[in-house]
């Protein structure tokens, strides 16, 4: 899944006619940098594009004549002038992430070309966008926000509360509209609120041929509501509706907070409470294990993670002892393993302390790490629109002097933890191009200047100035010197290398169904982590998917051996569990973009494997001929 904001996609693309940039129509320009890039991703194995909100948004002026355009000054990479210019028009320009619903069942007008906002014209252009993405071999997923609206009461952006005052919104004990989501919360536990939500989802599926839905703050809905959404979609058929509703994937943010927290009003649609539904939730366990620390740390330099150099490539900012860092890395490595195994609650694995326990017993912030009953109930990610981009986190967390070529490799290591796991793999757009937002921690209103993606591969966005003061000023003292460091600005050649390595990850995932078994019992039967335990090398994960066990999933292969070496040194280890087997480097990597991985070795006699620093190596064993 590739998460993409509509304006980010094309606003910089010089191959798109100027009047079509930042619009639905940009997706119909087949020769653009963006569409060429999406086709490459699709050919490599990408299946779906997830669009940030495209319903009618309250906070963006629809007419070009009403949209303010910032005048960006020519200023240095750590100047405050660019963000000041963007901020001066931020409430009147064409940019917002769009989590401000006005009308749920209407496409956003500002994304239509000028003069096509009214009547059916915007609908036609939206459908043309969907058709263009389908023609490129990509499914389309919409980001839906049914947990709140932009306003309530008599506000001009209030709709539902003016239709039936006090009904659609969730009220507190004294009758005030709750706003734990950021805005005016919707009470989808009320019958007609839920009905509107379900009708809207079905409308988009039936009339716009949408292939999946992502639900913002899904934990503010009940499990029962989400099950009824699922049932309504399942009732759609190709014969009667033109769509196979049962094939539509649902996932969302399963966070537990606000007035509904801990099932205060209903059984929530949160992590661990959707078992058996097939509905996915974002896996923050993997995110934090790979990044280190947490998304709201005041100084992201302090704590590194599995994919950002913890212990093995120390940045020097962590105040803890080496022993404490080693224990933290071991725990985060265990979290990554659980995620690779579909984040299953009952998958038993050898942990770093020498015990063998189910994923649900591994601790994560006072909860069980593994919570899914089926692999598709967890969505694995290390980069999304929220918080800093992966590249920016690598800038903050890796040693500042680490060469750019090695940063590219660590980017690939991080992406491999999602691409080679059993759950759906989710990438934020541009992560394969080292996308930067100039260290912005929350770019929802930071304009095209900080958000636009350069699909020509010439510039990754780093050093466009200090990010928005309103959300980042307390970190400027850290960000400024980094933005001024020319060593941290990748060249077009580095961006191309990152893209090529990411493409190889997609090809690896697509090369065998063993990376997507799709069933918890198959995962339990076939997947293991040889070489694990207290003596395992730090920063290394070895995963075996054994197709000689249970039903034959890939007739061409007897197994896959994955080694993720996130450390800064060559690592060799002897895996007695695979001694005697005939693993060789996957043809994808043997013929791929990375010369370094081709030095990885496997000895069939002993089961010894050696993998270079900052490298993901995938070995395959072809099926033995029948006797």
d(CA 524, CA 236) in angstroms, rounded, equals: 33
What burial letters (b/e) apply to 566-580, b meaning 16+ CB within 10 Å? bbbeebebebebbee
C-alpha separations of 337 from 332, 430, 473, 493, 509 in Å: 9, 25, 36, 32, 17
pLDDT at 627 over 90: no
Strands 139-144 vs 212-215: parallel, antiparallel or unpaired: parallel
Per the CB < 8 A criterion, the answer to whether 394 and 302 are in contact is no
- The residue ranking higher by pLDDT, 625 or 326, is 326
**Residue 626's pLDDT band (boundaries 50, 70, 90)?**
low
Distance CA 169, CA 315 (A): 48
- Mean predicted confidence (pLDDT) in 550-571: 98
For 24, residues 6+ apart whose C-beta sits below 8 A from its C-beta are: 6, 107, 111, 112, 113, 122, 125, 126, 128, 129
pLDDT category at 406 given cuts 50, 70, 90 is very high
Q: Contact at 8 Å (CB) between 562 and 543?
A: yes
Domain residue limits, the chain: 283-434+490-622
Helix (H/G/I), strand (E/B), else coil: 296:
coil
For 177-218, what is each residue's pLDDT tens digit? 999 999 999 999 999 999 999 999 999 999 999 999 999 999
- Sign of the torsion formed by the C-alpha atoms of 295, 296, 301 and 305: negative
What DSSP element (H or E) covers 607? none
At residue 235, the pLDDT reads 99
Mean residue pLDDT of the chain comes to 98
Convert the pLDDT of each residue in 91-124 to its tens digit.
Answer: 999 999 999 999 999 999 999 999 999 999 999 9
Whether 227 is catalytic is no
pLDDT tops 90 at residue 625 = no
Choosing from 253, 383, 388, 621, the catalytic residue is 253
- CATH architecture of residue range(s) 283-434+490-622: Alpha-Beta Barrel (3.20)
- Across the strands, what pairs with 215? 144, 252
What are the φ and ψ backbone dihedral angles of 520, each rounded to 5 degrees? -60, -40
pLDDT in tens, 47-57: 999 999 999 99
Half-sphere exposure of 345 (CA within 13 A, CB side): 13
Catalytic residue among 13, 100, 143, 216: 216
Give CA–CA dist 40/311, Å, rounded.
Answer: 36
Rounded Cα–Cα distance for residues 153 and 133 (Å): 39
Q: What is the pTM of this model?
A: 0.97
What would the pLDDT profile of 62-77 be if each residue is shown by its tens digit? Answer: 999 999 999 999 999 9
Q: Is 377 a catalytic residue?
A: no
Per-residue model confidence (pLDDT) at position 624: 80
pLDDT at 286 over 80: yes
């Amino acid at each position: 899944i590739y998460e993409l904001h509509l304006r980010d996609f094309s606003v910089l693309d010089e191959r798109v006619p100027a009047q079509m940039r930042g619009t639905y129509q940009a997706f119909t320009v087949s020769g653009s940098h963006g569409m060429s890039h999406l086709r490459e991703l699709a050919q490599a194995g990408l299946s779906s594009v997830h669009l940030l909100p495209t319903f009618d948004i309250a906070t963006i002026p629809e007419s070009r004549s009403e949209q303010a355009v910032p005048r960006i000054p020519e200023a240095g990479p750590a100047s405050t002038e660019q963000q000041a210019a963007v901020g001066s028009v931020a409430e009147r320009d064409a940019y917002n992430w769009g989590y401000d619903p006005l009308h749920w069942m209407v496409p956003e007008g500002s994304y239509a070309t000028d003069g096509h906002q009214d009547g059916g014209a915007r609908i036609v252009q939206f459908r043309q966008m969907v058709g263009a993405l389908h023609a490129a071999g990509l499914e389309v997923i919409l980001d839906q926000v049914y947990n709140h609206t932009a306003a309530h009461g008599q506000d001009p952006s209030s709709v539902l509360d003016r239709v039936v005052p006090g009904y659609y919104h969730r009220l507190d004990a004294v009758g005030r509209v709750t706003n734990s989501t950021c805005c005016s919360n919707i009470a989808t536990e009320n019958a007609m609120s839920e009905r509107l939500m379900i009708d809207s989802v079905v409308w988009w599926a039936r009339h716009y041929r949408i292939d999946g839905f992502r639900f913002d703050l899904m934990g503010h809905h009940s499990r029962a509501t989400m099950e009824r959404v699922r049932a309504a979609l399942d009732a759609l058929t190709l014969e009667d509706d033109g769509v196979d509703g049962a094939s539509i994937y649902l996932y969302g943010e399963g966070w537990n907070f606000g007035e509904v927290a801990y099932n205060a009003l209903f059984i929530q649609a949160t992590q661990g409470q959707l078992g058996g539904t097939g509905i996915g939730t974002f896996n923050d366990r993997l995110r934090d294990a790979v990044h280190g620390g947490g998304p709201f740390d005041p100084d992201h330099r302090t704590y590194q993670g599995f994919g950002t150099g913890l212990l093995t490539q120390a940045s020097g900012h962590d105040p803890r002892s080496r022993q404490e860092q080693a224990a933290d890395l071991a725990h985060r490595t265990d979290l990554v393993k659980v995620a690779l195994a579909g984040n299953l609650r009952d998958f038993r694995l050898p942990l770093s302390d020498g015990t063998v326990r189910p994923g649900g017993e591994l601790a994560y912030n006072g909860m069980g790490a593994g919570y899914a009953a089926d692999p598709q109930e967890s969505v694995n990610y290390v980069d999304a629109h929220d918080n800093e981009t992966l590249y920016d986190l690598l800038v903050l967390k890796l040693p500042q002097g680490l060469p750019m070529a090695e940063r590219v490799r660590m980017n690939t290591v991080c992406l491999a933890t999602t691409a080679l796991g059993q759950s759906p793999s989710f990438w934020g757009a541009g992560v394969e191009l080292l996308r930067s937002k100039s260290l912005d921690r929350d770019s929802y209103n930071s304009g095209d200047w900080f958000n636009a993606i350069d699909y020509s591969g010439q510039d990754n966005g780093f050093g466009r100035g200090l990010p928005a003061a309103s959300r980042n000023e307390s970190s400027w003292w850290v960000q400024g010197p980094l933005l001024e460091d020319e060593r941290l600005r990748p060249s077009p050649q580095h961006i191309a290398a990152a893209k090529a390595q990411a493409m190889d990850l997609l090809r690896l995932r697509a090369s065998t169904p063993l990376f997507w078994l799709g069933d918890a019992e198959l995962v339990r039967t076939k997947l293991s982590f040889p070489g694990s335990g207290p003596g395992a090398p730090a920063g290394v994960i070895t995963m075996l998917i054994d197709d000689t066990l249970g039903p034959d999933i890939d007739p061409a292969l007897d197994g896959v051996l994955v080694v993720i070496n996130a450390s800064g040194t060559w690592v060799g280890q002897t895996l007695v569990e695979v001694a005697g087997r005939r693993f060789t480097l996957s043809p994808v990597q043997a013929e791929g973009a990375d010369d370094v991985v081709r030095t990885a070795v496997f000895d069939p006699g002993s089961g010894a494997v050696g993998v270079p620093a900052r490298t993901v190596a995938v070995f395959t064993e072809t099926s033995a001929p029948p006797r």
